[in-house]
Structure 1
């Protein structure tokens, strides 16, 4: 029975590897002071079930058509690593949308509310983007997750 419980825990851990899981282990000995191979229950009261980390909820209100098209294009491709995230910010007094880079030395992108590319604030060989908004990281405010690839 103990082997089955261990196998089930390992399977659960492996299946949930893409999500953050918080688990504590027993820190106090059982009442008898010893653990035997036949013990099937936890040995202390401070063991907890896995708790999944909260995934931020996306803001689905008022997504412009051009943004819906960008999301559809990402979903039509293979899953990226790291996953694509789109965030909304206030920058230079305007609402902008930031799309994370698909990988490595590629540029992330910042769009205005009409879907026009404003700049590439980071990424590229230097990691500093295209230089058109070098203060983006420092001056962006009011971050809101708009969408992230759920796959």
Structure 2
């Protein structure tokens, strides 16, 4: 009986640990399309990371470009721009983003 209790406890612990990691089906199709587009040579300023955060009571996706002048965008689950955090062409219209955003989860990172 003690063995079953330990097994049950370990199963619950492992299940809880996996719940926070997004699966490919949790990532919106438009975000998956951005990831696929970054493999194309014609992409002028490719995204190097996509990170999911909880911001303003919803999940958003922060895209970081490999060019310091390109804006880093905060997108909703439909890939509509909520705001831009910087870059030479960025609007900088969400200066509180990194202070207010929580639940940081790396979705994708480009490999060299």
Shared fold (TM-score, shorter chain, > 0.5):
yes
Judged with a 3 Å threshold, the aligned counterparts in structure 2 of structure 1 residues 90 and 73 are, in CA distance, closer, same or farther, namely same
RMSD, aligned α-carbons: 2.6
Q: Structure 1 residues 79 and 149 mapped into 2: Cα distance closer, same or farther (>3 Å)? A: farther
Structure scoring higher RCO (CA < 8 A, sep ≥ 6) equals: 2
Structure 2: gaps (5+ residues): 1-20
Q: Could you tell me which of 61, 74, 97 is aligned with 2:38?
A: 74
Look at both structures and tell me which one has the larger radius of gyration over its CA atoms: 1
Mark the CA change 1:60 to 1:77 in structure 2 (over 3 Å): closer, same or farther. farther
Q: Contact 1:84/1:100 (CA < 8 Å) preserved in 2?
A: yes
Q: Distance in 1 between matches of 2:109 and 2:44?
A: 11
Question: Any idea what SS the aligned residue of 2:59 has?
Answer: strand
Superimposed CA distance per residue, residues 76-132 of structure 1 (whole angstroms, 9 cap, x where no aligned partner): 13799997000000111111000002212211111001111111112126xxx4132
1:122 match: 86
Structure 1 unaligned blocks of 5 or more:
1-57
Determine which structure has the larger helix proportion and give its number: 2
Offset at 1:60? 3.7
2:51 counterpart of 1:90? no
**Structure holding more strand per residue:** 2
Q: TM-score, normalised by structure 2?
A: 0.69
1: CA distance, partners of 2:42 / 2:111: 12
* 1:64 corresponds to: 28
Other-structure match for 1:135: 96
